[in-house]
Amino acid sequence: MLIVGGQTAEIYDPATDRWAATPERATATLHFNHTATLLGDGTVLVVGGFVAGKPEGQTVERYDPVAARWTIVAPLTIGRVYHTATILPGGRVLVAGGHGPLASTELFGDDGAPSVSCFTPTGQCVRGRFLQYWREHGGLAINGYPLSDERIERLDDGKEYTIQYFERVRLEYHPENAAPNDVLLGQFGRRIRPADPPTPRPSGPMVQDGFYFPETGHYVGGRFFNFWYTQGGLAQFGYPISEAFPERLDDGKTYTVQYFERARFEAHPENPSPHDVLLGQFGRTILAENERTGAR
């Protein structure tokens, strides 16, 4: 019998009526209200739960009693607590629901990694290479919920690709590229707003909290540069194509924004960091435009 809780785990041997601690768990944070599922190969999959008192547990661990070793496997797409984890015929594990706004399900494969995640708010699922990219590049906070299934679409270069739309991005499969560059993001920023002319390189104290990009001739500073640098950088957002400026958005309010090749940053100083920078939902805009015009 394996008992898992807090930061430790113990095994009970009924033959000797003794408990023995397992080796140190792979995650050192306080962990409870998770699930533990016995897999067909005798290992145990420990999923989610409260972490340090907060329902943010995305961690998934696997315990191998033969090797007496804990390992971390691919994380959940979102944190879960009070969820369920059910082993299915064939050895996969279905993780569903939980406390709070967790209206989604995840399906784990034999390797302990999620193979499919489905989201009730939009009724769409993400799988395979797109799920891996989505999970490793900011998940829900950066990319948003999926808005479509995978589909074939002709892009600006005249070629057809397998793509999938999310609230803030479009993921594109480019088999001509070696991994990890076989999944790229659509340049929605350029499509929604033409790039501004380059501006001169700034000088003085203001350059100390940001960076000037000579590739497009624009400067990113302050909270926008911190967000760009820590949340994915060039691969996720692309180069800046404008300076920061005030713009009235769909809610009728004016915000300081800055456009990038793949995103629009919006300053929301009323929110605590890192939520003081939000991303425009360009995926919704482009998908709605394509469906209105019949472009596929």
Q: Is the pLDDT of residue 101 over 60?
A: no
Give per-residue pLDDT as tens, 177-231.
988 889 999 988 888 888 999 999 887 655 667 899 999 999 999 999 999 999 9
Q: Which residues pair with 46 in a beta bridge?
A: 36, 61
CA separation, residue 261 to residues 23, 185, 190, 233, 282 (Å): 47, 10, 5, 11, 11
Q: Which residue is associated with the tokens 């900011």?
A: 138
pLDDT at 240: 95
- Calculate the average pLDDT of the chain: 83
pLDDT at 173: 95
Mean pLDDT of 44-65: 73
Q: Is the pLDDT of residue 102 over 60?
A: no
Give per-residue pLDDT as tens, 55-91.
456 778 888 888 888 888 777 777 777 788 888 877 7
pLDDT at 28: 53
Query: Are 211 and 201 within 8 A, CB to CB?
Result: no
Is the pLDDT higher at 102 or at 157? 157
pLDDT at 103: 53
CA angle 149, 159, 289 (to 5 degrees): 50
